[in-house]
Amino acid sequence: MSDLLLSQLQQGKPVKVEKNGKTICVARVGDQVFAVDDTCSHSDASLSEGDVTDFKIECWLHGAEFDLRTGEALTPPAVAPLHTYGVHVDGDSVTVEI
């Protein structure tokens, strides 16, 4: 069963998905879809409310940026990486692998 539809995922507008007890931020970049922890590794902010530029997502609270592909923290104040999740895209159906 898919979690989301690709056609409903807009570039630059990440969404929050709850699955198996996890809160996950799903972001579309072109036709690729990435999934990372929704909670910033710095403090308690929801990354799905942040901005996506290229492959980066920026936390709205203190401005830390993360690489959506690897979860790596790119700019302070965050230092710890985000957990990343596999995403399976099949036609219009997007499934977060967790």
Positions 21 through 80 that interact with ligand FES (CB under 6 A): 40, 42-43, 45, 59, 61-62, 64, 77-78
The encoded tokens of residue 73 equal 């923290």
Q: Where are the beta strands (DSSP E) in the chain?
A: 4-5, 15-19, 22-29, 32-37, 51-53, 56-58, 65-67, 84-90, 93-97
Looking from the CA of 90 toward its CB, the CA atoms found within 13 Å total: 7
- Minimum gap (Å) between residue 67 Cβ and ligand FES: 14
- Minimum gap (Å) between residue 43 Cβ and ligand FES: 4
Which is closer to ligand FES, CB of 5 or CB of 80?
Answer: 80
Cα 7 off chain centre by: 17
Which is closer to ligand FES, CB of 75 or CB of 95?
Answer: 75
User: Which residue reads 């579309």 in tokens?
Assistant: 28
Which is closer to ligand FES, CB of 3 or CB of 34?
Answer: 34
Using CB under 6 A, list all residues that contact ligand FES. Answer: 40, 42-43, 45, 59, 61-62, 64, 77-78
